């Protein structure tokens, strides 16, 4: 399900964006401002194109600039902010989602490239109030600290089990190596993945 937008959150977000923009203008050198103005002109050249895909079981039809990544499309246009923007270079795994059942870094693909595909984000794993087994295992085994990388870790962990790459702690570490945990909760993440695999629960 796509989330309902809370007007209070939207107003707060708009206020923060405006405040940040004013602060940036106050400290930005004139040459940089000129470059930014040129960027705005370039942005105006990108005509939005229609795109249709299924996200978390729901058909979505939107218009999007061809240069927009799937990550930004999910976060900025659909308010699916569970998918995190970490490095924006495909190196940390925080933005991991499933496309047609396969895990990918959503910062490395364009939204327009997903025409007709089925996308699953962290918001689509739970069934109503019932957590996905991997989500429950992460809680039970304390497999997160700050939690920022957790959505990507969980999405990758689900795929790891589905792919048959959770046969041993060493194998789990190898096939989860694309997901970085800055807090170092790796041991507990391995315990959570092992628990789901050994429990034989459908993922």
Backbone φ and ψ of 55, nearest 5°: -120, 120
Residues 120 and 62 in one domain: yes
pTM of the model: 0.79
Residues 117 and 158 in one domain: no
Residues 102 and 155 in one domain: no
Is 62 domain-assigned?
A: yes
pLDDT in tens, the chain (203 residues): 666 666 666 677 677 667 666 676 667 676 655 665 666 666 666 799 999 999 999 999 999 999 999 999 999 999 999 999 999 999 999 999 999 999 999 999 999 999 999 999 999 999 999 999 999 999 999 999 999 999 999 999 999 999 999 999 999 999 999 999 999 999 999 999 999 999 887 88
Here the tokens at position 92 are: 């940390």
Residues 52 and 95 in one domain: yes
Residues 23 and 72 in one domain: no
Distance CA 158, CA 61 (A): 27
Question: Considering 124, 144, 171, which residue would you say is the last residue of a domain?
Answer: 124
Residues 152 and 194 in one domain: yes
pLDDT on residue 200: 82
Is 115 domain-assigned?
A: yes
Say which CATH number the domain at 143 has.
1.10.150.120
- Domain span including residue 170: 133-198
Is 203 domain-assigned?
A: no
Q: What is the DSSP-derived secondary structure letter of residue 77?
A: I
Here the tokens at position 67 are: 């240069």
> Tokens 């989330």 sit at which residue?
3
Residues 96 and 109 in one domain: yes
Question: Considering 65, 100, 124, which residue would you say is the last residue of a domain?
Answer: 124
Residues 67 and 88 in one domain: yes
Is 79 domain-assigned?
A: yes
Here the tokens at position 154 are: 């969980």
Backbone φ and ψ of 160, nearest 5°: -60, -45
Residues 102 and 50 in one domain: yes
Question: Considering 89, 124, 159, which residue would you say is the last residue of a domain?
Answer: 124
pLDDT on residue 202: 81
- The residues facing 99 across adjacent strands are 102, 119
Is 158 domain-assigned?
A: yes
Here the tokens at position 172 are: 């789990």
Distance CA 121, CA 127 (A): 13
With H, G, I as helix, E, B as strand and everything else as coil, classify residue 54: strand
Question: Into how many domains does the chain fold?
Answer: 3
The neighbour count for residue 31, using CB atoms within 10 Å, is 8
Residues 58 and 118 in one domain: yes
Say which CATH number the domain at 116 has.
3.10.20.30
Backbone φ and ψ of 90, nearest 5°: 75, 20
3 contact partners, CB below 8 Å, separation of at least 6: 79, 80, 123
The neighbour count for residue 129, using CB atoms within 10 Å, is 5
Helix (H) or strand (E) holding 158: helix 150-162
Residues 59 and 120 in one domain: yes
Distance CA 169, CA 180 (A): 16
Residues 192 and 162 in one domain: yes
């Amino acid at each position: 399900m796509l989330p309902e937008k809370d007007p209070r959150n939207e107003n707060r977000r708009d206020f923060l964006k405006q405040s940040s923009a004013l602060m940036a203008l106050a400290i930005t050198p004139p040459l940089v401002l000129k470059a930014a103005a040129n960027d705005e002109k370039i942005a105006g050249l990108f005509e939005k194109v229609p795109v249709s895909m299924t996200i978390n079981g729901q058909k979505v039809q939107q218009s999007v600039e061809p240069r927009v990544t799937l990550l930004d499309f999910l976060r900025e246009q659909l308010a699916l902010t569970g998918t995190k923007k970490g490095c924006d270079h495909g190196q940390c795994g925080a933005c991991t989602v499933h496309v047609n059942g396969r895990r990918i870094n959503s910062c490395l693909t364009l939204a327009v490239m997903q025409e007709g595909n089925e996308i699953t984000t962290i918001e689509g794993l739970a069934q109503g109030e019932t957590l996905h087994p991997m989500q429950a295992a992460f809680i039970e085994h304390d497999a997160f600290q700050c939690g920022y990388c957790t959505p990507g870790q969980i999405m990758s962990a689900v795929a790891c089990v589905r792919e048959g790459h959770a046969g041993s702690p060493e194998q789990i570490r190898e096939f989860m190596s694309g997901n970085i945990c800055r807090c170092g909760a790796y041991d507990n993440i391995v315990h959570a993945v092992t628990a789901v695999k050994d429990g034989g629960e459908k993922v």
